[in-house]
Structure 1
Amino acid sequence: MQPAFAAALLDAEHAVPPGLLAADPAERFAVYRNNVVSGLGRALANGFPAVEAIVGAEFFAAMAAIFVRVSPPASPVLLDYGAALPDFLNSFAPAAELPYLADVAQLELAYTRAFHAADAQPLPADTLGRLTADRIGALRVNLHPSLQILRAAYPAATIWAMNTGRLPLAEITDWSAQDILVLRPQYGVDVVILAPGEAAFLTALQAGSTLGEAAAAALDAAAIFDLGPALAALFMRGAVTACHDSQEDP
């Protein structure tokens, strides 16, 4: 009965599940179905406020009703519900004129995940000054568990900031791609537009590369990458929780 109930709950074309105890099972079930779909839609709106602001509440509610039916929750915990929304938006024809929408949704997912990530104490920013130059290249670092890197094809961080009140609404003149860092070193989530090469640098560090190896990867991605400022920014942002020699266990 459970599969039939779940299928009917999200699709009005399905017959009402048998065995329901109510004076008018079809009417009662329709009310329940509407409440479930609208409730999940509100959960999506709470998780994607910038997307809703861009398309408008009415459009978002209609889109959410379709998304809920094709991608119902896989868990009773709604914290990560909407993980499939960026891919959905990429193929959602009514939003075709807003090709950046999926990038903004991906950023909002990263923001939520960073907010709820495990806590970890960043190393003090002056730690970098105590490292000797001949040692730095062989070091590996542990990055904060909230840290996420996005490679957006559009200026998603700027669009997101304008549609969440962090920046005033204005015409965007530079539609270049943005590499974005999302991080919660303490209590608030930071969204940072990365300099050229920094995304490759951080991605390599996340994969376990030494600082020297990560710097080489960053230079391959962007010849103007500068290890000094990138390292300083890494510590100043509270992104590093530990560092150790490459020969040591993490």
Structure 2
Amino acid sequence: MTSLKQLQERFQAGILAGDDTILGDVKDSARERRSVLFGVYRNAYVVRLAEILGNDYSQVHAYLGDEGFAKLARAYIAAHPSDRRNARWFGRHLPDFAKETAPFAGHPEIAEIAALEKALDDAFDGPEATPLAIGDLAAIPPEDWPRLTFKPHPTAVRLCFTTNAAEIWSALKDGMSPPAPARAPEPQALIVWRQEYMARFRPLAAEEAMMWDEAAKGVRFGVLCGMLATFAGEEDAEFRAATYLKAWMDSAMLTGCQVQQPLGEAQSGAPSFGAGNRASVRPVSQ
């Protein structure tokens, strides 16, 4: 005799893996065959997963339309069955799937729109942290600035797009007709992060993107200034570096700084600033 646990396991396998063993426990009705009857549950499950994807990737849905997004959702669900109890993570592979799978891979803006949506959701769900304040930097002696390193906000993510996906996303978010997809003349750097209660993104010019990437690795401020001098000329290199730094602080993109000890000295006494936490709520827009 089949136990309740065995029946539940067969039912789950029938829904999640397409295993037809469960059909042996289902009877045909007077009007319909058992495969059709059980198919109602299978279809309902797929529809629910597609709804989850549509909620998580609303602008991809808007861009592709109902029919196009349904095609993407069906292909994704077949390739990536749900493997987490929390539906929040079901669509985590969609950007890579769209990037690598035909026919969607032939339209790279689809994967990049999806990547931006995922990054914004992840930024909201990311760890809490108190932004670095101007007063924290004011406490650092000028002679220590060359050895200063910075800590990015834990939600900050760098993206690099090859298309105008960010412009398409923004237009769709505003309820406007999106521009036609186009290849960017050069890779477009973007930064995604959470500021207070809002997930945000903005483009980065090439020089700022380079400085951010190196600062995020822990490169000292003095070295960053030297890199900017090499990147776009020595004139005003320190001023440009300070301008970028202020913009990051004004936007709450940094959460700490530390004066690195000279080589050969212990770092345990190096002063650090910015280490608190704050509450967060889900943003309703960019």
Per the normalisation by structure 2, the TM-score is: 0.74
In the alignment, structure 1 residue 9 sits paired with structure 2 residue 22: no
SS at match of 1:198: helix
In structure 2, give the amino acid aligned to 1:228: A
In structure 2, give the amino acid aligned to 1:9: I
Aligned to 1:100: 109
In the alignment, structure 1 residue 147 sits paired with structure 2 residue 161: no
- Percent identity between matched residues is 27
**1:9, 1:33 within 8 Å by CA — same for their partners in 2?**
yes
Aligned to 1:238: 252
The alpha-carbon distance between structure 1 residues 53 and 15, as it changes in their structure 2 partners (threshold 3 A), is same
Which moves more between the two structures, 75-84 or 87-96? Answer: 87-96
Aligned to 2:207: 197
In the comparison of the two structures, how many residue pairs are matched? 248
- Greater Rg, structure 1 or structure 2? 2
Which moves more between the two structures, 47-56 or 92-101? Answer: 92-101
Which moves more between the two structures, 123-132 or 59-68? Answer: 123-132
* 1:201 to partner: Cα distance: 2.5
What is the alpha-carbon distance in structure 2 between the residues aligned to residue 53 and residue 122 of structure 1? 34
The alpha-carbon distance between structure 1 residues 44 and 219, as it changes in their structure 2 partners (threshold 3 A), is farther
Which moves more between the two structures, 105-114 or 81-90? Answer: 81-90
1:146-225 map, 5 Å: 146-165=155-174, 169-170=178-179, 175-176=184-185, 177-215=187-225, 222-223=231-232
Deviations 1:55-113 (A, max 9, x none): 11221012101101111222111223222212211233233552221111111111010
**1:120, 1:185 within 8 Å by CA — same for their partners in 2?**
no
In structure 2, give the amino acid aligned to 1:195: A
Which moves more between the two structures, 67-76 or 21-30? Answer: 21-30
What is the alpha-carbon distance in structure 1 between the residues aligned to residue 228 and residue 133 of structure 2? 24
Per the normalisation by structure 1, the TM-score is: 0.83
Which residue among 51, 54, 59 is the counterpart of 1:45?
54
**1:157, 1:191 within 8 Å by CA — same for their partners in 2?**
no
SS at match of 1:122: coil
The alpha-carbon distance between structure 1 residues 189 and 31, as it changes in their structure 2 partners (threshold 3 A), is same
* Structure 1 residue ranges without an equivalent (≥5): none
The alpha-carbon distance between structure 1 residues 79 and 216, as it changes in their structure 2 partners (threshold 3 A), is farther
What is the alpha-carbon distance in structure 2 between the residues aligned to residue 80 and residue 208 of structure 1? 30
The alpha-carbon distance between structure 1 residues 32 and 219, as it changes in their structure 2 partners (threshold 3 A), is farther
Cα RMSD after superposing both structures:
3.1
Aligned to 1:66: 75
* 1:45 to partner: Cα distance: 1.1
More helix by share: 2
Which moves more between the two structures, 131-140 or 188-197? Answer: 131-140
Which moves more between the two structures, 23-32 or 182-191? Answer: 23-32
* Structure 2 residue ranges without an equivalent (≥5): 1-5, 261-266, 273-286
In structure 2, give the amino acid aligned to 1:233: A
**1:202, 1:214 within 8 Å by CA — same for their partners in 2?**
no
What is the alpha-carbon distance in structure 2 between the residues aligned to residue 166 and residue 132 of structure 1? 49
1:108-147 map, 5 Å: 108-125=117-134, 127-128=136-137, 131-147=140-156
The alpha-carbon distance between structure 1 residues 7 and 249, as it changes in their structure 2 partners (threshold 3 A), is farther
Which residue among 79, 85, 91 is the counterpart of 2:88?
79
**2:167, 2:179 within 8 Å by CA — same for their partners in 1?**
no
